[in-house]
Structure 1
Amino acid sequence: MSMASPRSRIPGAVNGYEARWEQHNIERRLHILRAAVELLEENPLGADLPVRQIAERAGVAKSVVYRQFSGREDLDRRIRSYLIDHLEAVLDAQLDISSGSVREIITRTVRAVADWMGDHPNLAAFARSGPPADGPDSVDAISSLKIRISERSRELIETIARTMDADSAALEPVPFAVVTMVEGVLAAWVADPGSRRPRAQMVADLSDYAWYILDGVARTASITVDPDRELAEVVAGLRGGNS
């Protein structure tokens, strides 16, 4: 007759052990991803970066990497997800409408993108080289992030439009158009080592362009917003006027 181990006879102990083991695996995967990102920062090898080097930087055996990820493609997709999830969190903080005017919100968001792309060109190139872990094969990680940020911005615009009892239909494609413009221009700027335009000037110009687009389309929907007034005050005032 077989004898069950003491742990197997205690459900709580088993669940606790499994939870600790899963947490251990999560931490190990994050450690490997961070090691891969460090190596990508140092050289532009991208998908050609040997798994052996990633394992060495993480301080684990190569076999451990393949136990944590189903293969090289899975590892690369997880790295891209790690990169854009971090950038998305940064951008979400900058898009917070509780602080700042429309102009300030746009400017700090554009600056965050410019800083990341300018300071981490290898990471930006790798994120653009393929899909993230949670996206379709046909959409690269940067495009996936643009869609996410566009949806986040569209929700913000729709909230303001509803507050003003205005039709936001005309504004629906604007966030993706603005996000695509900003990312495309900055990508070309980063790729041109001979560019004479300093980062601060690029941020200022792109922020102005983004505002011109938003303002022009908003006016067609009978929405007028002072770009230099605290947005939270504007929205609160509109709500008060419509209550």
Structure 2
Amino acid sequence: MAPDDAAEEVAVPDGRSLRWRKHNQARRQKIIDAAITVLGRQSPGEEVQIQAISEESGVARTVMYRHFADKADLDRAVQREICNRLGEVLIPALAHDGTPEEIIHRVIEGFVLWSVDNPSLFWFAERDLSGWGPTPLQEAFEKIAEAIEAIMDTVVAYVGVELSQDDRDGIDPWVFALIGAAFTGIRRWASRDPRVPDIQQFIDIMSESIWLQINGMALSRGITLPDGRIVDLLHSMGTEPGAVEPSQATGA
């Protein structure tokens, strides 16, 4: 057997190692899920105790720290899981089977309903745990922003308007500003006691506000936003849904 072949064979994990790795991954996820369950039972701002997570998961505290470097590592993993679950609510709302205005309304509605149902998770998701790189919430915002930019690119391509270089460069931070404003507004409303206006009125107000900003910006650039479904616009251009990548049509 050649030396390279031997090295390659050694690098392949055996069945026992794979089973052990899967076991560790499953136990790690069990701990994260337990932390979220405990967090969901508590009031926003209340710290989650390791002992409570241990009891909920059935995993001893000493064993828990074999899967996480420290409490901060566990907290960050919990944040990421919360944001993944939020993404499971918001990303489908961005599906192309609606008009741009309908899609905006669906996203805002999904975010508001989630924040009401999960106040402690909402609070925990935005905590600054410090550390390098983007936070899980920022990463979630990036995914949402990419989906919104893809929709905007589709509309720009459909109407055939040439944007200036400054406008192309400004789309990304502008979309992030819209998302940040929506997040801040929803957080403010969710923290009010009582929550006024009522939930449906608030969803409508927030959706209309975001839509007016998008529509107003488009009109100022000579773009009349179509009122058709995004999927129909794509079909009319001979493009399959999902084929337009963020910033493709705007040339960024």
Whether TM exceeds 0.5 here: the answer is: yes
Matched, 1:162 2:157: yes
Structure 1 residue 118: Cα displacement: 1.1
Aligned length: 226
Q: Distance in 2 between matches of 1:77 and 1:34?
A: 13
Local SS of the residue matching 1:48: coil
Matched, 1:207 2:207: yes
Q: Is the 8 A contact 1:91 1:109 kept in 2?
A: yes
Listed as ranges, the gaps of 5+ residues in structure 2 are 1-8, 240-252
Instruction: Tell me the TM-score normalized by structure 1.
Output: 0.82
Bigger helix share = 1
Q: What is the CA deviation profile of residues 17-40 of structure 1, one whole-angstrom value per residue up to 9, with x for unaligned ones?
A: 222211111111111111100111
- RMSD, matched Cα: 2.6
Q: What is the CA deviation profile of residues 165-189 of structure 1, one whole-angstrom value per residue up to 9, with x for unaligned ones?
A: 4326254433212211211111000
1:136 to 123, 132, 140: 132
Local SS of the residue matching 1:173: helix
- 2:3 is aligned to none
- 1:118 is aligned to 116
Matched, 1:72 2:71: yes
Local SS of the residue matching 2:66: helix
Q: Distance in 2 between matches of 1:48 and 1:207?
A: 33
Q: Distance in 1 between matches of 2:127 and 2:56?
A: 22
Rate the CA distance shift 1:45–1:180 in 2: closer, same or farther, 3 A: closer
Which structure 2 residues correspond to residues 89-238 of structure 1 after superposition, within 5 A?
89-97=88-96, 99-131=97-129, 136=132, 140-166=135-161, 167=163, 169=168, 171-227=171-227, 229-238=228-237
Q: Is the 8 A contact 2:35 2:53 kept in 1?
A: yes
Rate the CA distance shift 1:180–1:12 in 2: closer, same or farther, 3 A: closer
Rate the CA distance shift 1:172–1:224 in 2: closer, same or farther, 3 A: farther
Local SS of the residue matching 1:44: coil
**Counterpart AA for 2:232:** E
Q: Is the 8 A contact 2:158 2:233 kept in 1?
A: no
Rate the CA distance shift 1:233–1:226 in 2: closer, same or farther, 3 A: same
Structure 1 residue 45: Cα displacement: 6.9
Structure 1 residue 92: Cα displacement: 1.2
Structure 1 residue 74: Cα displacement: 0.3
Q: Which has the higher contact order (CA 8 A, sep 6+)?
A: 2
Could you list the structure 1 runs, at least 4 aligned residues long, displaced by more than 6 angstroms after superposition: 10-13
- 1:5 is aligned to none
**Counterpart AA for 1:62:** R
Structure 1 residue 201: Cα displacement: 0.9
The percentage of aligned residue pairs carrying the same residue is: 24
Local SS of the residue matching 1:86: helix
Listed as ranges, the gaps of 5+ residues in structure 1 are 1-9
